[in-house]
Structure 1
């Protein structure tokens, strides 16, 4: 017989496990709905307990079929690839689902247990890995190509400057030498950006204050777009502690994203920067507790990004800007990757864009925590 203490342990396990656990009786009535199930489905325990699973998840045929099969056949069934969980007031969620019969001591079926796992985070990690591989493949080619271009480019610029010195001040040809010099400088800027993208500079780890970095950036950006009416809004979680990071790289990252947001606004609008600690991700530290993540969202109500463009914005040299180089976002991706984080983008044309940066709250060097 289970003791009262064992029962308490089982309850704590169900309350703290990161998988959704839902128990049904033989009639499909929900008898258990743990906190993870509430978070994944968007339904509260009060909304779920005592209700019919078929009614609450009406229209979600693949999920209902798994439950019906487990109850009817008395065997475990699962689907780890093709289940999409549709939720009220939230985006659909890809999920891995296992359903097992709930057996009595005599072996008869007394209901079913569903275990659901959120696969969206796994898909985020897979996408980040693919982007990392693309940048790695680009690196070897880019480094050699940039080296070969820089030398003749310097010669062209030097020749144009000498020619400009030889021409009379009133000569109309000086207009052409000015164009040559300007364009070689532009190409050189692109090459330098490409080299920065492929250069293996190791971060200089120290304790960083996220609120200070974002506050300093906004203080400067508010004076840059005087011709536009842009409200820069800052909504930071004051409980976020200092964590391990490279302040210069993180400043470059957030400055680029905030500038992109402001430039996406035509005449008037807002750029909202918010931060919060999230429980969706954890990074395992050697010999220490898992590190939670902080997510910073940079949201604007600008022109937005078309879906076909959104899939390619982290590809080097791909840009939707008239004078853009297409290297800013890939560089942001590299900085986030160096910090063991993730960078995502979501957008609706005409409604704006949101970039989400998730970084692990690894204790600063020398703190003795997680080391």
Structure 2
């Protein structure tokens, strides 16, 4: 039986053991709590990283989907991992369909090297770039195909080449036209002298008169060729629209009178517009454009009972001037509408096909546009361009000065 001192020592040892156990337990609990906090912090960081990766992935996906190029990602075994909408638009959505097209192009299944080559597919001119994706050890892990649409670029290159050819042709035509005009002028002079020498109302007089008409027609044709091949040299100035319209009305009524005397059915001709307005324009070029449009309208109603031609010129509230010529002729066919402004295209047996092209060039020289609308019984052509406040101010100042001088 243990003595009292021995029992006291045992109690003391046991008490120390329990105390040590409690301290170890407290440290363990504290360590566990710290570990839980670290795990929670790591979990929070991982979640933030995941969200950031998701956001970056979504952004990258949005970028790839918004590309105007086609992107195809394949595994090393040829399985399609991803395509963007352009591939679906150009080729298709199903994997076997895309692989079939790639096989037809000679791209698949030979995928060991990167390369680039052109492809024509469904009217598109494409450039295909193939890149090999490698793993950290340098082994092929997949492939990326990039399809770039060069259709518009090819069209622009063709347009540039066509414009270059047209420019060269225009220079040649201008040279030939200039050389033709000199002897043509001499022919007109001698024909005029001959007509004065021959007795009137004789076959010879009629022949000389016919020769002069044809010379005049050739001169107009050469003038149209020169106007088309040479960019119009525009000189903008303040122009009295009312005076311009009155002059045009007088000139065109004389033309109608001559046609009426030749036996053509009468044509109702009307001129409307802002008679008290000034605009900024090149009056000579604007008159040439108006002459071409009115001449076309007269030809459209030629031989039609009740033919009508109307000229309208006015400035809109937003500061644009519009010169419109309309007629009630048979209209323009749907086929002809596609080529109506093309040079040398004409539906008339004796037409040169340059009148509307010249009008278009004159409208562009005024920083404007030309347009038309046609259906049976109604055809209207118009040109629109800025009326020009700067010229209007100058014109107003000049008008005030002239009034003061008077």
TM-score, L = length of structure 1: 0.50
| Bigger share in strand | 1
Q: Indicate the structure whose relative CO is greater, using CA pairs within 8 Å and at least 6 residues apart.
A: 1
TM-score, L = length of structure 2: 0.46
Task: Select the structure of larger CA radius of gyration.
Answer: 2
